[in-house]
Amino acid sequence: MSKPPEDLHEWISFDDPDEHRTWVFDATYLRSNYTCIYGCGCQGILDEPATDSALGCCSFGAHFVDADDLANVERHAERLRPDHMQFHAKLAKKGFTTQGDRDADGEPTMQTRLVDDACIFLNRSGFAGGVGCALHIAAVEAGERPLDWKPQVCWQVPLRLEHSSDESGHVTSRLREWKRRDWGEGGADFGWWCTEEPDAFVGAEPLYRSARDEIVELVGARIYELMAAQMQRSEWVPLPHPALRRATSSGESAQPEPSS
């Protein structure tokens, strides 16, 4: 029997009951026990692994997807206090945005500006208000969802929703893991990327459950429930994620996949 492809994934798909759309979900990723390990071994996205810096995905600032995304963060940034945000004084003085690269149409984009080589909202190690995203910290204190406060890219990664349409206008929407290539040319230079590493597959439950809020925000509650019903079929033996298969074949320590 020939060796299976290294990046082998299983997918499920179904037609939307209300739209001219087909939904496609990366079952291998969503049924895995991937979880964000920021502050617990995340090595960031610099050229070399950098666990101690605790920068996570925040090294290059967050790009806003549109004016609504920017306006939402502006509203929530007004609620930040100095005890939430290490660089609150810089926020008050010059704001939090800067012009980013131009988009495919040549239009300028906006992103969060950098302070000390990372996003202005990122609290560094030793800050009394807590390490990590100031927006996240303030949202939790307010009893609200961090995803409602943050730039969209910050709560979506490493989930990626992409759309395409055929000649008849039928839309196909795919929810999958975010790969190095999705960062553009710079992704190839990362010294470490979490969805490739067994270290990040240590969650207590499958990703489609632990990331329910994020997935619902992307696809809607009804589509989520249709997807989840398929993900939890008892007769389906899940295919281990490639990061775990590589770890097993190389003799590294790897956590087992969770039950569905």
pLDDT for the residue 246 = 85
Please classify residue 3 by burial: count the beta carbons closer than 10 Å to its beta carbon, then call 0-12 exposed, 13-18 middle and 19+ buried: exposed
pTM value surpassing 0.95: no
CA distances from 98 to 25, 75, 112, 115, 150 (A): 35, 17, 6, 11, 16
Q: DSSP string covering 110-176, please?
A: EEEPEETTEETTEEPTT-TT-SEEHHHHHHHHTTS-GGGTS-HHHHHTTEEEEEEE-TT--EEEEEE
Q: What is the DSSP letter of 185?
A: G
Other CB atoms closer than 10 Å to residue 204's CB: what's the count?
9
CA distances from 72 to 91, 97, 148, 164, 200 (A): 16, 13, 8, 27, 30
Residue 198 pLDDT greater than 70, yes or no: yes
pLDDT for the residue 253 = 53
Residue 201 pLDDT greater than 60, yes or no: yes
Determine the residue type at 193. Answer: W
Cα distance between residue 260 and residue 254, in whole Å: 18
Cα distance between residue 27 and residue 136, in whole Å: 28
- Rounded percentage of the chain residues whose pLDDT exceeds 90: 80
Q: Quick one: pLDDT band at residue 159, thresholds 50, 70, 90?
A: very high
Cα 4 to its chain centre, rounded Å, is 27
Start-to-end CA span in the chain (Å): 28
pLDDT for the residue 260 = 53
Cα distance between residue 191 and residue 140, in whole Å: 31
Cα distance between residue 223 and residue 210, in whole Å: 16
Those residues whose C-beta lies under 8 Å from the C-beta of residue 138, and which sit 6 or more positions away, are: 76, 79, 80, 81, 84, 85, 149
| Of residues 243 and 100, more confidently modeled | 243
Instruction: Locate all alpha helices (DSSP H) within 40-126, ordered by sequence.
Output: 67-77, 88-94
Determine the residue type at 226. Answer: L
* Contact assessment for residue 116 and residue 59, using Cβ atoms and an 8 Å cutoff: no
CA distances from 244 to 8, 194, 241 (A): 12, 12, 5
Round the average pLDDT of the chain to a whole number and report it. 92
pLDDT tens sequence across 168-180: 999 999 999 999 9
Length of the chain: 260
Residue with tokens 């202005």: 120
pLDDT for the residue 239 = 85
pLDDT for the residue 1 = 63
Other CB atoms closer than 10 Å to residue 22's CB: what's the count?
15
Q: Quick one: pLDDT band at residue 251, thresholds 50, 70, 90?
A: low
Domain ranges, ordered by start, for the chain: 10-36+158-253, 53-145
pLDDT tens sequence across 98-154: 987 777 677 778 999 999 999 999 999 999 999 999 999 999 999 999 999 999 999
pLDDT tens sequence across 15-67: 999 999 999 999 999 999 999 999 999 999 999 998 888 999 999 999 999 99
Nearest to 239 by CA among 35, 1, 28, 25: 28
